[in-house]
Amino acid sequence: MRHADCCDTADHLLTLSAAVTAALHTIQPICETESVPLFDAYGRVLAADVAARLDAPPGDNSAMDGFAVYLADLSLEIPTRLPIAGQALAGHPYTGLVPRGTAARITTGALIPDGPDAVIMQEQCRIDPDEAWIDIEPHIAARLKLGENIRQRGEDVQAGTRLLLKGLRLRPQDVALAAGQGMATMAVIRRLRVAVASTGDELHEPGEPLPPGAIYESNRYTLIGLLQRLGCAVTDLGILRDDRAVILPALREAAATHDVLLTSGGVSVGTADLVKDVIAELGHIEFWQLAVKPGKPVTFGRIGNCQVLGLPGNPVSVMVSFLMFARPLLLKLMGAEPMEPVRLQAAANFAFRRKTGRREWLRARLQLAPERGPVVDIYPTNSSGALSSLSWADGLVELPEDCAGVAPGDAVDYLPFSGLGVD
Ligand code: AMP
Ligand code: MG
């Protein structure tokens, strides 16, 4: 694993891209599928391509409220008066052939009756108050074309075409497309089972009294929210004390029944950092420590069939390492495409000095300045413990490994949270 290609930083840490590539290479997507009703399909991963079984629309229909007419009946010299022969409403087709020299009232979505070859908008006709006839002015008739305001059968979707691809995370419009095809259920990949634990003797649950030296736990509140947005089935293992006798059985049991185990804390180099050792004891560690900031101690391993991701404890490191490292792996495991984050170029509204060698993310906010184009600000403090910075931010500025600093006005990459599945 640790060869020159993937460790192009001075202190020989694995780069993020090398780590993600290596991890993606080792993991296999889950493939068990289930069939779910459409309202339960949002956010799920499609298990097989979906082909259209119907033409949509199923027949020629009207795009407007108006009158179905024969184009050839309209005079281009004098107003044409056409008696109204009947009506075609959405869901109530006109029966029979519309007689030549007449018009049929039609509403949006109604089937075009046999005979007429264009629909003229209601607003372009003079309608007799008793609805017995309409008059059409020659200049309006001159502009009307064959097939005008008629939506052709199959114009949106043709039966047999591939509509949705396997691996798609279903959005409302995708589910709607299946509904439009008359499908009541969709085949999706079963939810990824992820267990989440926080570690640390200093951690207490919100709502409890806080002893001296303690802090409230927040990482599970970040991670579980992020996992739910990805559509994972989450098991909350709570807070684990910094005690091998607590951590070891908890991780062993969780690994036996989950696809992924996600921990925070305890992977650094302190004496209480036991998680890494326990992973190594129960399974093996693929790699540890990445050339990133924040989030350097990220640990990637496996216990039995369970993929283990040990994230660092600092609240900012947790979220950033989840988004940059864990997210693509989880997407692959759940059978979806591990998409690259959306990157936008923006002008820095700040100065920042740093050492080269690690990829770094700063908590950022984008402004769309009308004259200057997109401009990005960063949070005043860069501490990886400053949870408030993440709540303030709407995205991250990404500084590549070789970036030695940023001057005001420099173009930087801004990654909106919305492009990382957080909005
Ligand atoms: P560790 O990686 O366990 O050394 O933790 C690094 C820092 O993150 C320490 O200051 C911890 O107190 C803090 N921390 C660890 N886990 C959590 C958590 N779940 N919620 C809030 N802060 C945490
Ligand atoms: Mg700790």
Contact 35, 177 (CB under 8 A): no
Can you tell me the mean pLDDT for 387-394? Answer: 97
CATH number given to 61-151: 2.170.190.11
What are phi and psi for residue 167, nearest 5 degrees? 95, -10
Lowest mean pLDDT among 163-167, 269-273, 355-359: 269-273
Q: Can you give the pLDDT at residue 2?
A: 42
Site to substitute for ligand 1 among 264, 267, 275, 390, most atoms within 8 A of C-beta: 264
Q: Which has the closest alpha carbon to 103: 140, 141, 133?
A: 133
Q: Ligand 1 pocket check: which of 201, 240, 278, 314 to mutate, most ligand atoms within 8 Å of Cβ?
A: 314
Task: Name the pairing type of β-strands 162-164 and 50-51.
Answer: antiparallel
* Rounded Cα distance, 313 and 322, in Å: 12
Residues 286-333 have pLDDT tens digits of 999 999 999 999 999 999 999 999 999 999 999 999 999 999 999 999
Which helix (H) or strand (E) segment holds residue 395: the answer is strand 395-399
- pLDDT tens per residue across span 342-351: 999 999 999 9
Give the residue carrying structure tokens 């950092």: 273
Peptide linkage before 138 cis (omega within 30 of 0)? no
> Comparing C-alpha atoms, which of 264, 289, 287, 257 is closest to residue 357?
289
Residue identified by tokens 């039966």 is 159
The rounded Å distance from CA 270 to ligand 2 centre is 8
Per-residue tokens: 304: 């039995």
Distance (Å) from CA 418 to ligand 1 centroid: 26
> 203 exposed, middle or buried (CB, 10 Å; 0-12, 13-18, 19+)?
buried
Where are the chain's structural domains?
Answer: 2-33+191-333, 37-55+157-189, 61-151, 344-420
pLDDT of residue 346: 97
Residue pLDDT, tens place only, 240-280? 999 999 999 999 999 999 999 999 999 999 999 999 999 99
CA 99 to ligand 1 centroid distance, Å: 80
- pLDDT for 9: 52
| Domain 2-33+191-333 CATH assignment equals 3.40.980.10 | yes
Q: What percent of the chain lies above the pLDDT cut of 90?
A: 94
Mean pLDDT of 103-127: 98
Say whether pLDDT at 6 is over 80. no
CATH 2.40.340.10 correct for 344-420: yes
Burial group, residue 311, by CB count within 10 angstroms (0-12, 13-18, 19+):
buried
**Cα(256)–Cα(6) distance, rounded to whole angstroms?**
31
The pLDDT value recorded for residue 170 is: 98
> What is the rounded distance in angstroms from the CA atom of residue 245 to the CA atom of residue 224?
25
pLDDT confidence bin for 4, thresholds 50/70/90: very low
State the average pLDDT for the chain. Answer: 96
Per-residue pLDDT, averaged over 49-68, amounts to 98
Residues 70, 78: Cα–Cα separation, whole Å: 16
Question: What is the topology classification, in CATH, of domain 37-55+157-189?
Answer: Molybdopterin biosynthesis moea protein, domain 2 (3.90.105)
Confidence band of 338 (pLDDT split at 50, 70, 90): confident
Ligand closest in space to the Cα of 265? 1
Ligand 1 binding residues, C-beta < 6 A: 198, 200, 202-203, 215, 217-219, 264-266, 268, 270, 273, 312-315, 385
Instruction: Please choose from 199, 203, 390 the residue to mutate so as to test ligand 1's pocket, defined by most ligand atoms within 8 A of CB.
Output: 203
Model confidence at 334: pLDDT above 80: yes
Q: Residue 10: pLDDT band by 50, 70, 90 thresholds?
A: low
Query: What H or E segment, with its residue span, contains residue 173?
Result: helix 172-180
